[in-house]
Amino acid sequence: MLNETLKMEKPMLKPIKLGELDLSNRFAMAPLTRQRAAAGLVTTLLHAEYYAQRATAGLIISEASQISPRGMGYPNTPGIYSQKQVEGWKLVTEAVHAREGKIFCQLWHVGRHSHPLLQEDGGLPVAPSAVAEVGHVTTLKGKMDPVVPHPLSKTEIEQIIADYSKAARNAIDAGFDGVEIHGANGYLIEQFLNDNSNLRTDEYGGSIANKIRFALEVTAAVVREIGPDKVGIRLSPSGTNFGVRNSDPVATFTQLIERLNTFNLAYIHLIEPFAHLIEGLPQYLPKPTSYFRPMIQTVLISGAGYTFATADEAIKNGDADMIAFGRDFISNPDLVYRYERQKPLNAYDTETFYGGDSRGYTDYPFYGRSNQL
């Protein structure tokens, strides 16, 4: 056990309350798409080993898991909509809990970031409006140009909100401690938030109050289903993924966060932008975490680009309550131990990030010993 002096010297080791959970430290394992789901988009014992290896994180946020077949945007990503998927995720949650870890399931709908080759029926992906994104979509046949998506009707929006609610219930049935609504990175919820991807003229478009409506309705449905103490949401206030653009992101996310505060969520998770992605876009905040910190009335998780030193600084300054690490958790299953003991980090191998088997997944060594649990 670490003594109290060490905890004082190491801000990231201080325990924290998140909803009804007592977390042992301020480390969050960021949601990381790894594309290793089996047939039926089901998680397996390999996933269980991977997550259990990293259970010393204060909180694990699972890889993004689509809430319906229509929500899929990459090959071999797990779902949380079928009973077989629920059973697969039970292997993971049981393994994490056996090591006294805590884990939330990230709920995902990619919206327009999909392709007919990724849709069960070969149909079009869906989005707020019939506007194609920028870039490419990854399919089993390689990278494809994006297609113009099908604009959602109000009835279809209601069905997607119901899918989020059902997925949240499935996650709890699978043994997760809670869920994180993925509202970031250019996917469906963020497509509603942005001007150039949401051209609607009904109650879901136009004004900021209308553009944030979908995010709030999803959150309300999930909270009704499983309770606010088990719900977090991830946002990217300075996000530009897949070409989304917002003419007034500060006002948009100010209104959204003010409304989210009324739900008493377990946490809000903000993504910091990389400077080159917002170069020439002065409307975007270079440091959204510190800007929005005074507005957020729950636990604030911040992620993207942190080192141990900058994480310590953010916790000491009160800019964030927890820090999410991504790539460093991929290559260092014992990241918390290495922080505690000031040990060097394993380098990560980007070639094994997406798809494959145990290589680059469960074979990174713990410090001074093998990767065996």
68-81 tens-digit pLDDT: 999 999 999 999 99
Residue with tokens 């141990």: 308
HSE toward the beta carbon, residue 56, CA cutoff 13 A: 15
CB 230 within 8 A of CB 170: no
**Mean pLDDT value across residues 236-249:** 97
Coil, strand or helix at 226: helix
**Mean pLDDT value across residues 12-40:** 98
pLDDT digits (tens, 9 = 90+) for 141-185: 999 999 999 999 999 999 999 999 999 999 999 999 999 999 999
* Phi (first) and psi of residue 60, to 5 degrees: -95, 130
Structure tokens at 209: 């109050």
Residues carrying an active site annotation = 187
* Phi (first) and psi of residue 277, to 5 degrees: -80, -15
- pLDDT at 8 > cutoff 90: no
Alpha helices in 31-153 (DSSP H): 45-53, 83-98
- pLDDT at 3 > cutoff 70: no
Distance CA 74, CA 272 (A): 23
- pLDDT at 9 > cutoff 90: no
Coil, strand or helix at 162: helix
pLDDT digits (tens, 9 = 90+) for 299-340: 999 999 999 999 999 999 999 999 999 999 999 999 999 999
Task: Give residue 368's pLDDT.
Answer: 75
The distance from CA 243 to its chain's CA centroid, rounded to whole angstroms, is 19
CA neighbor of 308 nearest in space, from 4, 86, 13:
13
CA neighbor of 263 nearest in space, from 298, 313, 239, 235:
298
Task: Give residue 235's pLDDT.
Answer: 98
Partners of 23 in the beta sheet?
16
Task: Give residue 92's pLDDT.
Answer: 98
Distance CA 313, CA 302 (A): 12
Q: Where are the domains of the chain?
A: 4-352
**Mean pLDDT value across residues 266-279:** 96
Distance CA 176, CA 190 (A): 25
Share of the chain above pLDDT 70, in %: 97
Q: Looking at domain 4-352, does it have CATH number 1.20.1250.20?
A: no
CB 302 within 8 A of CB 312: no
Structure tokens at 27: 């480390």
- pLDDT at 371 > cutoff 60: no
Task: Give residue 233's pLDDT.
Answer: 98
For residue 342, the tally of other CB atoms under 10 A from its CB is 8
Distance CA 267, CA 228 (A): 9
Distance CA 165, CA 235 (A): 19
* DSSP letter for each residue of 281-346: -TTS-S-HHHHHGGG--SEEEEESS--HHHHHHHHHHTS-SEEEE-HHHHH-TTHHHHHHHTPPPP
Round the CA-based radius of gyration of the chain to a whole number and report it: 20
- Residue 50 makes CB contacts below 8 A (sequence gap 6+) with 34, 361, 362
Task: Give residue 61's pLDDT.
Answer: 99
**Is the CA virtual torsion 366, 368, 369, 370 positive or negative?**
positive
Strand ranges (E), the chain = 16-18, 21-23, 27-29, 59-61, 65-66, 103-108, 126-127, 137-139, 142-144, 150-151, 178-183, 231-235, 267-271, 299-303, 322-325
How high does pLDDT run on average in the chain? 96
pLDDT band at 372 (very low <50, low <70, confident <90, very high): low
- pLDDT at 2 > cutoff 60: no
Structure tokens at 9: 């010297």
pLDDT band at 1 (very low <50, low <70, confident <90, very high): very low
CB 346 within 8 A of CB 326: no
**Mean pLDDT value across residues 15-37:** 98
